[in-house]
Every structure is written in structure tokens, then in C-alpha cells.
Structure 1
């Protein structure tokens, strides 16, 4: 049966106190012991569990004479809540041990917003809240912590280092709770959550469309978002938990320790031109033959551009003077089709353009080094089933698209 998307999708409360109580019951197997450990009344524990069960769509515990035991649904939620709090709590304690007991999700969302905007008014606008509400939430955190979380300057407010670490931990904790919603929906045969892909140029024109088309046939109502943009922006979104994974050219070495890279295949560059270009019929062209041509290439700092520049520099040739920089294959195609300019792009992308009769691949005697293409993921990320299925399809279509 095809999973369905409910217009009244369930969502677990971000009430951190309730989630902590839930784990206390799971660990203690008793409402009484959980109440003692959480320093709340037993009726408060019962109320928190009942509310979470309504939000989760069913029982989280089996009630027996021997105690409370997690159901399968409860295990699903407990796994994500433990991961969320394992992210959040060390950062809270680093600012002040008291915050682990007092900080609320609303306060942390306000903190994240102000960290990003470095301005209370802009943060409030982004969060859809009144400015005094955001200011009060941050002030309450500072009062509980007995320390400033922002430095006030003439240019705005700047988060301290512990504040930045807390905001990052809170982002990833909330991302885990988003994953919990998706896992619980999957448990009930519904579609939940959202798959968010960061797509670099090669993946957008070849691998990802094929994988998404097949994924859509399997899961027709699963929400999917594809973000394209500069690598640095996608990486920042990945590390904040806003993007699930990035597909495209890998960086050597990996850009930072909290991400990991999974190579799928090696790609090599190719030179393209319009089909009736004067050079289209020539054999054994060299980079020296092409040095004086106009070029459409990617921007500096991108691996393919580094290889393009090195192809001239390593032979003592002057760098081409007529360059147009773009990461858009569509723009490159249209410029090449309307001019004598040449394009230097991924060999896999080139094959897609040539096979459709849109451009011609020049016969250039250049031994381009291989570029690893693959997935970039957060190091300790645990995907939902839908995210895992899409990555499996990407691996499949990447294998099929790899140069032979």
C-alpha cells in the first residue's frame, strides 16, 4: 500500500520538559520513580505522557503490573529524543548547568534567530514574533545562565562562542525531533517529514533527476525540497541540520571534521562547443590550441575550475583572458550555442548534452585527473527510511551514469 500524507499530520511537541519526563519513565519503568527523578509530581508525569501519546498517534508504553515498558512506537520516539538531548544538553551545561532544567524550546528558537540575524528586530520578523517576545526570551536565558550570551556593539549584537555553540546544538536537536515526526509517520504507514537535498551542478542535470523520478513513483506524496547554490552555502545548511545531504563534487580533503564524504564515482572534465563550431571536427586538439578561445567555466574555488586553470598553468600557457563564470549548465549551453565560446564541464554532464544533440564534445588530448563525485553528510546523522531510500536510488543512478 502506498503511504499517505495526512493533512492533519501529527507532530511531537518540542516541550523539552515533557520529552525529558518521557525518557525518565522509559528508563525507570515507573511513573513514581520518573516523577522523583524529574522533580515533578506524578500527575504532571501522567499528563506529559498522555499528551505525547496523543501527538505520537498511539501508546508509547505498555502499562503492566511490573511497570511501564516502551512500545515499538515508544522505541522510535525514544531513539530520536535521546539523540536530540545528547546534542543539546552538553551545550546547555557549558553555558550554565541550570539551563538544562529551565531552557525551553521557545527560548532556544529565539536564541537561534538572534544568533543568525544579530538583531532582535530582524530575528523577530523571521520568526513571526513580536520583538519584545524575542528580546524577553533571550533575556530570560541570560538571567538563568547568569551571564551574557551576546556582546552589544555599535553595529549590533554578536553571539559569544558558548552562545554560538548552543545555537548550533539546538538546531541539530530540533532537526532530530523533526526526524522523529518522520519516523513515527513511517511507523504508521504515512508520509511525514521532508527530504531536503543540497544539489551541486553535476547532480542537478544528470543523477538527481533520475533518482527523484524513481523515488516519486515509489513515494508519490513524500515532500522533497532541492536546494541548489554555492557549495559553501549548502555546507552551512547541512551542518545546521537544514539540509539532509549534498550531492556533487567532493572536496579533498573533507572541508570539516563534522561531515563525512561518500564517493560514488570519478568524473573527468570535457570541453564542449556548439555543434557547428569550427573546432568541432578537428582531432587531437591541445590546450595550447584552445588558450586564445573564449570560455564559459565555473567560478574560482570549485574543483573543476581548479583543474581548468591547472591545465594551462602546468604547461606554462597564459590563462585564458576571455572568461565567463557560471555554475548553470543551462546558461552555459545557451551561450555556447550562440557564440564561438567553449565550455569546460563535467564529463557526465557533457555526455548528457551531447547525447541530446545540444552541444558537441571536442577531441582534446588532455588527461584530466578524476574528480570524486558523491554524497556529503553530517558525520553522526541517522536518516529516516525515506531519506535512506532516496540515497539508495542516488547510488544506483550514479553507478549507471559513471564513465566506463
Structure 2
């Protein structure tokens, strides 16, 4: 492993920590009192030096990559070390300079060298710079912090407590940067990357967390993101690169041309209500449900389109309450605590595992089953970690059906 300290400065690490915490470049730039272009250049320097991508666009803003997670962990620890040193240096002072804004690693390196060698000339020889550069740096830092660093003596420079503190801080930061590089190198070649998946309502929603659990066990460096949402919102996120795919009822002929749908399983359109609802006694045909209150997803969804076709065929205009709820279990909970009937898609396994306080309404629904599929962007590059997710999901869908 390399023994060279990565050529990064404190301001680079502070920039990384700020963006990671706020997940937004503009907000981070405001917090650091700098411009977005400057902040982007600082992050770019980190990525270039370490040979990795730290941030990428995600569903909820600037999102760290797996390697970025490591960088952020070390950046936060370094920022904490700066804060702890600051508290000790300026104990009792109401106002004082911020170390993360006042010092660079080069300043700390010079202070550390002067502390260890006992003189500006010896420090310059060790660092490969001129003696005036060392002297000017010590003077500038001392004046800016309003802290004495060294006391001159016949034998050279005697470090005072502030110089000892800053020298120790340099050692901690240098060691952390080397440990970061070593850890990044040690993890090279392992399956990593992001799997960000959007989910639409269907009874097999539970499969995605199960696949994520398997992926997490087999490939702990994978970054996993699960995003519930509407079809238009998730398609937009897919096109922006914020997610890699979405799982739900396939649109088939209405699927946009720039997307690819891969079938996974089949589910059937199912009317259901709470277990003790009177509808289970009196309803045998769709017309028997004419006067019921229906909970249906909004226009444009496959379930709504299917039911509207049926209502039209049977010349029905029932009372429909539109509910846009992305979690399958939340719809079930709402039905269990109301007098409404609802329609969702269920697999055979989903019906076998139907909540005990719910019951399928014994009204047969005609037509083809709903196809559940994985939708991806046509022509998009598929990372190995996403290919593994696809394989695991395909296997899990077979067992669920």
C-alpha cells in the first residue's frame, strides 16, 4: 500500500462533509460562504486525487457513492478533530478563528516539522522548501490565531502548547488520509455501486426488500436505495439517472419508447374489502357493487384504467374515491378500517397471505392478468451490481408467483 499522503487539503475535506450532510451543493456552498463553482472544483479535486466518484445525482439530492461514503466518514472524523483541537486551543475565548477556514494542511505540516526539528532551517530542509517560507508561515499563523506557537532560545525554537496541539492535529489528519487511501485500495475489485429502485403498488412489493437483504449480505459495498413513487415521477427519475429501474405493473403498449419493460411475474386484478363487510354476502356480479364506495388509484394507473373499462362495459357509474397511496400495505390498512371496497393486483402467494381482517370479494373479473415487470432506460449502461440485483429479483419473483 502507498505510504504517500493524498494531496488533499482541509478545505477539500470540509467541502465533502458539507455536501454529504446537506445533500445539496447550493446549500453547502452557502454554509461554507463560497460559490457553487468553487465548491464543485473542490469536490472535483478530491475525486481526481483519489480516482473515485464521491457524489452522484440521486432521488433526494446529491448522493454519496459507496466510495464516497468512505470519504465522508474520514472527512467527518477530520472535521471533528479540527473542532476538538479548536476547543482546546481557544478555551475561555468567546470569539476565535475557525481552524477549518484558517489553516491548510501545508501550514500544519510546517508547524509539525518545526516542532519536531526545533528550528525553521531544519524544518525547511526536511520539507524541501526555503527557510523564509517556514518563517513566514509560522508568523502568519501565529498572528492570525493570536496564539504564540514557539519560543526562541539559543538552541532554536521551543514549541509551546499551541504548536504541540497543531502538530498533533497534522499527524492525525495525515494518518486519516493515508488510512482512507489504503481502505479504498483494499476494496478495489469488490462488487460495489448503487442500486436505486422505484416501486409502484403491487402485492409483491415485499420482494424488493428481500432481494436487498440478500444483496446486502453477499455484497456489503453495494449502496441500496428504495424509492416509492408515482409512475410519472419515477420515470422522470429514471431518465435523470436518479434511479436504475422501477418495479410495478407493466404499461405494455403505453410504455414510453425510451424505456424497456422486462416481465417478472403475473398478478390478478382483485376486489377486496374488510372481512366482515356485507358485500361478501350479497355480491356475486360486478353490478351488485354498483352502490358501493370504491377506493381506486388515480387516472393513468393500470388498475384505474382496467376498472374504468369494466364500469363502462357494465354501464356503471359508482362512487369512486381516488387515493394515491404508494405503499400496498397502506391501502390494505385503509380498506380494513373503512366501509369501502378496493382493487389491487395480487399474486397467488399474495392472496394466500392476505391479511386476516381482509377478504377477497367473490366477483370474478375478466381479462388478462396484470404483468409485473422491471422497467429500465433503453441504452443505459448496466453496472454489475444492478445486473446482480436483476438476477436475484428474477429468481425471487418466480417463487413469489
Report the TM-score when normalising by structure 2: 0.53
Aligned 8 A contact 1:296 1:343 in 2: yes
Partner SS state of residue 300, structure 1:
coil
Larger radius of gyration: 2
The corresponding residue for 1:306 is: 305
| Alpha-carbon shift at residue 228 of structure 1 (Å) | 0.9
Aligned 8 A contact 1:273 1:343 in 2: yes
| Alpha-carbon shift at residue 234 of structure 1 (Å) | 0.9
Correspondence for 1:124 among 26, 46, 54? 26
Write out per-residue CA displacement over residues 237-293 of structure 1, whole angstroms, 9 at most, x where no aligned residue: 11111101111112233543332111223322101111122223567x211111211
The corresponding residue for 1:234 is: 234
> Take 1:137 and 1:210, find their aligned partners in 2: how far apart are those partners?
38
Summarize the Cα distance change of 1:180–1:344 in structure 2 as closer, same or farther, 3 Å threshold.
same
> Take 1:194 and 1:365, find their aligned partners in 2: how far apart are those partners?
42
> Take 1:132 and 1:224, find their aligned partners in 2: how far apart are those partners?
32
Q: Which runs of 5+ in 2 are unaligned?
A: 8-23, 41-55, 70-183
The corresponding residue for 1:317 is: 316
Partner SS state of residue 195, structure 1:
strand
Aligned 8 A contact 1:195 1:244 in 2: yes
Write out per-residue CA displacement over residues 341-384 of structure 1, whole angstroms, 9 at most, x where no aligned residue: 11100123992584442411111122143222111111122322
> Take 1:392 and 1:186, find their aligned partners in 2: how far apart are those partners?
27
The corresponding residue for 1:327 is: 326
Aligned 8 A contact 2:198 2:246 in 1: yes
| Alpha-carbon shift at residue 294 of structure 1 (Å) | 1.2
Structure 1 segment 38-49 matched on structure 2, within 5 A:
none
Partner SS state of residue 316, structure 2:
coil
The corresponding residue for 2:372 is: 373
Write out per-residue CA displacement over residues 282-323 of structure 1, whole angstroms, 9 at most, x where no aligned residue: 67x211111211122211111111111111112111243455
The corresponding residue for 1:295 is: 294
The corresponding residue for 2:177 is: none
The corresponding residue for 1:72 is: none
Aligned 8 A contact 2:273 2:342 in 1: yes
> Take 1:272 and 1:264, find their aligned partners in 2: how far apart are those partners?
24
Summarize the Cα distance change of 1:333–1:202 in structure 2 as closer, same or farther, 3 Å threshold.
same
Q: Alpha carbon RMSD of aligned pairs, Å?
A: 4.0
> Take 2:201 and 2:396, find their aligned partners in 1: how far apart are those partners?
16
Write out per-residue CA displacement over residues 5-59 of structure 1, whole angstroms, 9 at most, x where no aligned residue: xxxxxxxxxxxxxxxxxxxxxxxxxxxxxxxxxxxxxxxxxxxxxx9xx89xxxx
> Take 2:222 and 2:389, find their aligned partners in 1: how far apart are those partners?
11
Structure 1 segment 169-208 matched on structure 2, within 5 A:
188-190=188-190, 192-202=192-202, 205-208=205-208
Aligned 8 A contact 2:274 2:357 in 1: yes
| Alpha-carbon shift at residue 196 of structure 1 (Å) | 0.9
The corresponding residue for 2:396 is: 397
Write out per-residue CA displacement over residues 207-231 of structure 1, whole angstroms, 9 at most, x where no aligned residue: 2133223223323453211111111
Partner SS state of residue 225, structure 1:
strand
Aligned 8 A contact 1:272 1:350 in 2: no
> Take 1:334 and 1:171, find their aligned partners in 2: how far apart are those partners?
34
> Take 1:192 and 1:127, find their aligned partners in 2: how far apart are those partners?
29
Structure 1 segment 118-267 matched on structure 2, within 5 A:
124-125=26-27, 133-134=35-36, 188-190=188-190, 192-202=192-202, 205-253=205-253, 255-267=255-267
> Take 2:190 and 2:30, find their aligned partners in 1: how far apart are those partners?
29
The corresponding residue for 1:145 is: none
| Alpha-carbon shift at residue 133 of structure 1 (Å) | 3.1
Aligned 8 A contact 1:258 1:378 in 2: yes
